[in-house]
Structure 1
Amino acid sequence: MVTHILLVAVLCLMPAYAAAQTDTGSGRDIAAIHHLIKQYAKAVDTVDLNLLSQIWSHSPEVSFIYPLGEEHGFDAIEQQVFQNIMGGVFSARDLETRGVAIHVSGNAGWSEFHWIFHATMRKDGSTVTTHGVETQVYRRESGKWRLVHVHYSEDRQPVP
Structure 2
Amino acid sequence: MGTTIQEINSVVNRYIHAIHTQNEAEFKSLWCGADTDTMISVTNVYQGIEKIYTDFVIDAIQKAYTDIKLIADEPPEIHLLDNQTAIVIFKYHTECIKREDGSTFGISGMETQVMKCIDGQWKLCHIHYSM
**C-alpha contact (below 8 Å) 1:30/1:103 kept by paired residues:** no
TM-score with structure 1 length normalisation? 0.78
Give the Cα separation in 2 of the matches to 1:93 and 1:66.
15
Give the Cα separation in 2 of the matches to 1:110 and 1:79.
25
Larger helix proportion, structure 1 or 2? 1
Partner of 1:82: helix, strand, or coil? helix
Q: 2:113 matched to 1:136?
A: yes
Unaligned runs of 5+ in 2: none
Pairing 1:116-155 to 2, within 5 Å after superposition: 116-154=93-131
Partner of 1:124: helix, strand, or coil? coil
RMSD: 0.9
Give the Cα separation in 1 of the matches to 2:73 and 2:8.
15
Cα deviations by residue, 1:103-122 (Å, 9 ceiling, x for unpaired): 12210011000001000011
2:16 maps to which residue?
41
Shift of 1:98: 2.2
The amino acid that maps onto 2:50 is D
Runs of at least 4 residues off by over 6 Å: none
Pairing 1:84-95 to 2, within 5 Å after superposition: 84-95=59-70
**C-alpha contact (below 8 Å) 1:56/1:148 kept by paired residues:** yes
TM-score with structure 2 length normalisation? 0.95
Q: Larger Rg: 1 or 2?
A: 1
* Count of matched residue positions in the alignment of Structure 1 and Structure 2: 129
Partner of 1:83: helix, strand, or coil? helix
The amino acid that maps onto 1:126 is S
Give the Cα separation in 1 of the matches to 2:100 and 2:73.
29
Percent of aligned pairs with the same residue?
A: 24
